[in-house]
Structure 1
Amino acid sequence: MAENPLLKLRGYGQSIWLDFIQRGILVSGELQRLIDEDGLGGETSNPAIFDKAIAGSHDYDEAITALARQGKSALEIYETLAIEDVQRAADIFRPLFERTGGNDSN
């Protein structure tokens, strides 16, 4: 089996981070797989990333509908979705954080 190039980079002290966040990879186990099998060390997010995630998939449709039915504004919906996803990602990365003392390149 060929050596995983991402793990090889990690061996050189490089930390690989995912430059997007999307609910589908959080709930499907894909993010955990990337951490376990590819040595993923972190994930970034910002308003542009969330805009792309929300507009580019159906992962958020049910949550948006439910929040809209509760009378939430567009900003409240966005903030709720973003906070939920960041919390989920942080929970998934927590064992790595604890294992490395916050220095994910170890």
Structure 2
Amino acid sequence: MSKTKAIANEIVENSNTQRVILRILLGSLLSLSIVYIYMIGSITFNVVARKSLDRTAQILNSNISDLELTYLSNMNNINRTLATNNGFVDTKSNIFAKRSITSVAMR
């Protein structure tokens, strides 16, 4: 007789072994069921959170678009008269600073 048949016959004849195997199988089924329910719940809550974040991102993008439109509108209103009303004056002669590269600084 092979070892597997001997083990199978021992399990069939010994009721304690059957009870232990049944408890192990039921415990495994229960623990896997709990893990399955947790995973499904986690997925569901993540989907709801994702939809909420998408909606928030959509609202923020809409606000950004409104601000960009306001900015462009205000940029078109800036002209010389607005600048003079705010105290800016025209420069009469432009003076520029020019650097002559005659020496090299070493550190």
TM-score of the two chains, using structure 2 as the length reference: 0.24
- The structure showing larger relative contact order (alpha-carbon pairs under 8 Å, at least 6 residues apart) is 1
Higher helix proportion (structure 1 or 2): 2
Instruction: Select the structure that is richer in strand.
Output: 1
Decide which structure has the larger Cα Rg and report it: 2
